[in-house]
Structure 1
Amino acid sequence: MDEPDPTTEIPTRTLVESMIREDATIDAGELYDVAAALGMSDQQVRLCIKRLVAEGRFTHEGRGRTAVLRATGDTRGAIEPELEYLRFMYAQDRGRARWDGVWHLAAFAVPESQRHARDSIRDTLVYLGGAAIQGGLYVSANPWEDRIGAAAAELGIESHLTTLTTTDLAVGGLTEGRAIAARLWPLDRLAAGHERLLGVAQRVRAALPAEDPTELLTLAITLAAEFDRAVGPDPLLPPELLPQPWIGARARAAVAECWALLRDSALPPIRLFRWYGEVVAEITAAT
């Protein structure tokens, strides 16, 4: 098997969580084999397992390579990808989610006595793809009111949150959509992440089909890790606001092609692979 791509760094914790099977277990022998293929030492994996067990994220039965890890309920819920996010992303890439020209804004003024809530709502806005226009004022090109409202209610700051929509937005004298997007979002950094993802997808595609189970797992986990790294900070701006052609659409199409091939391979019943496989199957059916 080829050496792992040195530019794809996979944290040990990410590897462990990626190996959870449909029955919520991890085969330790399989885990150690994939870790070795990725250049991780057995000691590195053992220490990570020990930390995860101490945090209550897994239970541990047995010893060494014959051990079985079992994910707790909180862990199973925390690692599930947002499938609707993935579906929307690919719908945008294929021109099936056209932008209506509406900007969605949210403003908050939370007192210092509720600093934790203030920081949390700010983090939520950024997580949902928002960009800061100025202090306490964020904008997104996609609807987010329901999720912001739910977050504010959970934090007890509904009275400190204002949302509005507009088709007439000016930022620092800029009124054209692409100019606003280029000013507010780090498009160069997002493009660089997707360039890296495209390179990984092309290397994975060239290695498929693969017969060795460990190689298949290593390829799939490498692809998933790089995909998460690229799309995690992506605000999913509509194509109307992005430079064209946009590298993100090309990279994600290459990833979908890889997952379609991986889905047809003899991969073990791992949850992460099923989640991605389901979305790819929908994309393929809709094409």
Structure 2
Amino acid sequence: MIREDATIDAGELYDVAAVLGMSDQQVRLCIKRLVAEGRFTHEGRGRRATLHATAETRAALEPGSEFLRFAYAQDRGQVGWDGVWHLAAFAVPESDRQARDAIREALVYHGGAPIQGGLYVTPHPWEDRITRVATTLGIGDRLTTLTTTDLSFGGITDAPELAARLWPLDRIAAGHERLLSFAEQTLTALRTATPTEQLTLAVALAVEFDLAVDPDPLLPPELLPPNWIGARARAAVADCWRELDAAPLPPIRLFRWYTEAVAEITGA
């Protein structure tokens, strides 16, 4: 719901929340918590209020845009795999458990799969991002990165077999099956929706997209089963955003990310 100027219109927020089954009191409590956490500032009262995203909140949104663009670029064959595996290893003592847990979460967030204690792998270049995270956590000297084209795990060397062994592809595929079904239903609903319903469907679609894609390492097609459900689900979402692109939606930042990524698919 964050607009291009980093604000949220409270009236739109209350309207969308109501369609999603939330009461005004629930929305007020959520706003109060977000302000208390320092994620937004608040100006005005009730439905006439404006929420302003803080610098920290705005910065946290940008990786989502990069992730979205990469997913669609890979789906349309603009990003290929060079056969190189990227590995990262860390050794953080128990006394610094918080940093150890944080670097582990960062490695998984960036698509890494654990091979053994403290060693993670991905087919995508991640050295710069992971190094920045480790440096921020104060454990930059405890991180090792390396690449190889000769990876063996449990005696498996075939790349697609390795991917199936290292990542929970069945569970990831199930999430995309749900996204595909939701996108197909949304496309039908959009064609007769009111402006508020369109906005609500757009927000719900973005949420469903995140639920399916967040645990997805976005493996290259070379490592995935043929006709991978993830690409088909994202294509269905793209159809919805093409429909939404013709609607008079407010200037919400998330919508721009999707419409730009979808426009690049067709070259528009």
TM-score range, shorter chain: over 0.9
Paired amino acid for 2:234 = R
Alpha-carbon distance in 1 for matches of 2:43, 2:127: 45
Contact 1:195 1:247 in 2 (8 A): yes
Q: 2:211 aligns with which of 212, 216, 229?
A: 229
1:31 to 2:13 alignment: yes
- Provide, for residues 165-217 of structure 1, a one-character-per-residue CA deviation record: whole Å limited to 9, x for no partner: 11111111111111111111111111011011101110111123345211110
Tell me, yes or no, if structure 1 residue 99 matches structure 2 residue 81. Answer: yes
Counterpart of 2:62, as a letter, is E
Q: Following TM superposition, by how much is the alpha carbon of 1:116 offset from its aligned partner in structure 2, in angstroms?
A: 2.3
Give matches, 1:48-127, under 5 Å: 48-127=30-109
Structure 1, unmatched stretches of 5+, are 1-18
**One-letter identity of the residue aligned with 1:64:** G
Helix, strand or coil for the counterpart of 1:56? coil
- Correspondence for 2:145 among 163, 175, 178: 163
C-alpha distance in 2, partners of 1:168/1:156? 31
User: Aligned partners of 2:139, 2:3: CA distance in 1, in Å?
Assistant: 39
Q: 1:43 to 1:210 in 2, by over 3 A?
A: same
TM superposition shift of 1:60? 2.3
Aligned to 2:134: 152
Q: Which aligned pairs between 1:270-281 and structure 2 lie closer than 5 A?
A: 270-281=252-263
Aligned 8 A contact 2:68 2:257 in 1: no
Partner amino acid for 1:177?
A: A
Q: Which residue of 2 is the match for residue 11 of structure 1?
A: none
Structure 1 counterpart of 2:203, one-letter code: I
243, 249, 252: which one aligns with 1:267: 249
Superposed CA deviations along residues 88-134 of structure 1, whole A, max 9, x for unmatched, are 21122122222111111111112223322222221111111000001
Q: Is the 8 A contact 1:81 1:275 kept in 2?
A: no
Q: Distance in 1 between matches of 2:82 and 2:48?
A: 55
User: Are the counterparts in 2 of residues 80 and 272 from structure 1 also a CA contact under 8 Å?
Assistant: no
CA contact (8 A) 2:76 2:265 kept: no
- Tell whether the 8 Å contact from 1:83 to 1:279 is kept in structure 2 after alignment: no
Question: What secondary structure sits across from 2:78 in the alignment?
Answer: coil
Partner of 1:186: 168
Q: Cα 1:88–1:63, aligned 2, differ >3 Å: closer, same or farther?
A: closer
Q: Which moved further from structure 2: 225-234 or 77-86?
A: 77-86
* Preserved CA contact (<8 Å) 1:117 1:155: yes
> Cα distance 1:197–1:81, how it changes in 2: closer, same or farther (>3 A)?
farther
Are 2:201 and 1:239 aligned?
no
Is the 8 Å Cα contact of residues 180 and 236 (structure 2) preserved in structure 1? yes
SS of the residue corresponding to residue 235 of structure 1 reads coil
2:177 corresponds, among 189, 195, 202, to 195
Of all paired residues, the percent bearing the same amino acid is 74
CA contact (8 A) 2:72 2:261 kept: no
Do the aligned residues in 2 keep the contact of 1:209 with 1:265 (CA within 8 Å)?
Answer: no
Q: Distance in 1 between matches of 2:259 and 2:239?
A: 11
Structure 2 segments unaligned to the other structure (5+ residues):
none
**CA distance change for structure 1 residues 150 and 26 in 2, over 3 Å: closer, same or farther?**
closer
CA distance in 1 between partners of 2:235 and 2:76 (Å): 9
Shift of 1:81: 4.6
Q: Post-superposition shift, 1:254?
A: 0.8
Partners of 2:5 and 2:66 in 1: CA distance: 23
TM-score w.r.t. the length of structure 1 is: 0.88
Task: Verify the 8 A CA contact 1:26 1:70 in the aligned structure 2.
Answer: yes
C-alpha change, 1:159 and 1:62, in structure 2 (3 Å) is: closer
d(CA) in 2 for partners of 1:254, 1:88: 17
One of 233, 258, 266 as aligned partner of 1:251: 233
CA contact (8 A) 1:132 1:138 kept: yes
Q: 1:273 to 1:118 in 2, by over 3 A?
A: same
Deviation above 3 Å: which 4+ runs of structure 1?
none
d(CA) in 2 for partners of 1:55, 1:84? 25
Q: Which residue of 2 aligns with 1:22?
A: 4
